[in-house]
Amino acid sequence: MTVTVAENAGFCFGVKRATDTLEKLIDSSEKGTRIFTVGELIHNADYNRELSEKGVRTIDADDTAELEAALAGGSKCKVLIRTHGITLSREQAVRQLSDRYPGQLEIIDCTCPYVKKIHNIADRESGDSTLFLLLGAADHPEVEGIASHVKGKVLIFDSADEAERQIEALGEGKNFFDRVVLAAQTTQKLSEWKKTQKNIKKVYTNALIFDTICSVTEKRQLEAERMASENDVMVVIGGRTSSNTAKLYDVCRKRCGKAYLIQNADELQNIKILPAERVGIAAGASTPDRIIQEVRKKMSAEIMTENFEELLESSLNTLNTGDTVVGTVIGITANEVQLDLGTKVTGTIAFDQITDDPTAKLDQMFKIGDEIEAFVIRVSDVEGIAALSKKRIDSHKNWDKIVAAQESGEILEGRITEAVRGGVIISLFSNNVFIPASHTGIKADGDLTTLVGTTQRVKIIEIKPERRRAYASIRVVLRDERRAAEEKIWSDIEEGKTYEGVVKSLTSYGAFVDIGGVDGMVHNTELSWKRIKNPSEVVKVGDKIVVFVKALDKERKRISLGYKKDEDNPWFIFNQKYKEGDVAEVKIVSFTPFGAFAEIVDGVDGLIHISQITDHKIGNPAEVLEIGATVEAKITGIDHERCKVNLSIRALMEPAVEEVAPVAADEADVSVYSSDNPDASKYVTEEAADAE
């Protein structure tokens, strides 16, 4: 058997630059200096474990407590920014600590130059009217960092097809951008990048396209693709959280019938190499050369001496439908797990025969070398595959858990898999349990399909052991939880206490708000300082709002809630901003025979008496002013008790002279109007008309 190691295996330039920098710091830093990395320097568990053993700490810039504690204690610290880079906000958080502790903290930016290049493109080429398209994994640290530099709209997608879907979802809005920019995560697959470019050019003919895939990544993938087509077995070495390693494995798996992903030499014992004449080894950009050499050495020392006759004998073992088997995981993809059954066929467990959770990640549930017990559904000697089911085994093993849950009243959690006649099916411990429609919490004649795909908490209400059938209820859980919540609320509620609630319903006179199991009433007058005709002018059903208890009647189980705050009172805002003698820019809102009303702040109007509009006599305010016009006026009087304000334009048109006595403003009760004061709703009295 020949073993060939890829020429481009192991550390890329950016990773080597970062690791070399860190190792020099470890060797050269003076005693007592603390060394930190912002995020894992590279995606390799073995390497990061070694760093930890050397005293290097990994922190998240969102939680810098450990770093700050070291600085506050007087320690000198050095912080390395990881190869993938970090977001702008996270970088600012670290640099703020540097400003707070001058001379104590040194920041070394080890972001890969290829990644930095994309940061610069995002800074330079994006703007408010830009659409920035980025091919990459949205939750990958490199992509998060790039996106933080984008100004304007950014769409992140992991495939060409997903890009099309997201652009289509923009509707007509997809045409409203002055500039469209396309870039890619440095470790993306070349085939997907080429397909993405082709599709984007059809929609945006003038798109600015930047080839940002790392040249080393490109060479590594092309070499792995060639080797996979030439070898019987491909072994890919790298961290399972590494993006470039995952794509390398995907490339090899598509070209080679036997491709395995391992993290280190110890995992060789979990995969089957023989019988094979040619074996290729590829490695991700975050894999140290030491680990690659260990894998090659161990492969030669152990696998080559494996008893081939024993393998041949085991390959002749037979397998039948209905058997229960135990296999060893030799491969994991997004859609299935492959097992070595010790027979001439390979076992495969499809995703839907493992779990009902569509968000589950098989590579997080299993690892190479795990043993799985499964039920044989079908055997095909021609294809060399046995279709297996893990759910069948789990169902039988876990039935006792469902029986015990009924006896104890335990609340179970599962996913609704389908709506059927008369109810829905929930998967509990790989068993299908029926929930009658009346126990779903959906109103009669409601759409039960809205529950499909959701996770629900239930109690087992009935079991028929002879038929292995169980019945569950969502409604019972909701009822019990609401009762418990009500008891807690009523035990400690008091006037003035604040709650975050959810608006449950609206009436013509106010809104009912759920404050955690109990509904309270917010009257229209408590929703806004302004007069409103309907609560929908302020809130809508489903809104989360902060309310406080104004009054309560525990005997009648009634709660009166308040929502508006004193600081939102227009009269309060007015008094914070203005005082008598100030000049304000006001908006004319209405006319009367004796003057004009002008809005000073939202909710507070003042009266400009007709004698104060101009420096000559006029018969009607409309001769000088227009509704909606903005003018400057002087505040000549404030009645704090009645929330009224007098304004004058004339006072700004002439120098100070002896004041003429006002036209019985107080006696006429026409000087002011404040929209927040319900008692000040009558603007003109008969006396005012006589005075005029």
The DSSP-derived string for 459-496 is: EEEEEEGGGTEEEEESHHHHHHHHHHHHHHHHHH--TT
The DSSP-derived string for 660-681 is: PPPSSHHHHT-SEEETT-GGG-
Calpha distance 481→474 (Å, rounded): 11
Please list, in sequence order, all residues whose beta carbon lies within 8 angstroms of the beta carbon of residue 5, skipping any fewer than 6 positions away. Answer: 280, 281, 283, 292, 296
> Which residue, 284, 221, 381, 277, is CA-closest to 83?
284
> How large is the C-alpha radius of gyration of the chain?
37
Contact 36, 59 (CB under 8 A): yes
Calpha distance 647→666 (Å, rounded): 14
The active-site residue, picked from 91, 125, 142, 599, is 142
Please list, in sequence order, all residues whose beta carbon lies within 8 angstroms of the beta carbon of residue 278, skipping any fewer than 6 positions away. Answer: 1, 2, 4, 230, 231, 232, 233
> Which residue, 83, 90, 40, 45, is CA-closest to 63?
90
Terminal CA-CA length for the chain: 113
Joined tokens for residue 271: 């995969």
Beta-carbon neighbour count of residue 378 at 10 Å? 11
Please list, in sequence order, all residues whose beta carbon lies within 8 angstroms of the beta carbon of residue 120, skipping any fewer than 6 positions away. Answer: none
Residue 466 buriedness (CB in 10 A; 0-12 / 13-18 / 19+): exposed
Contact 578, 637 (CB under 8 A): no
302 is catalytic: no
Degrees to nearest 5, angle at CA 583 with 579 and 586: 105
Cite the active site residues.
142
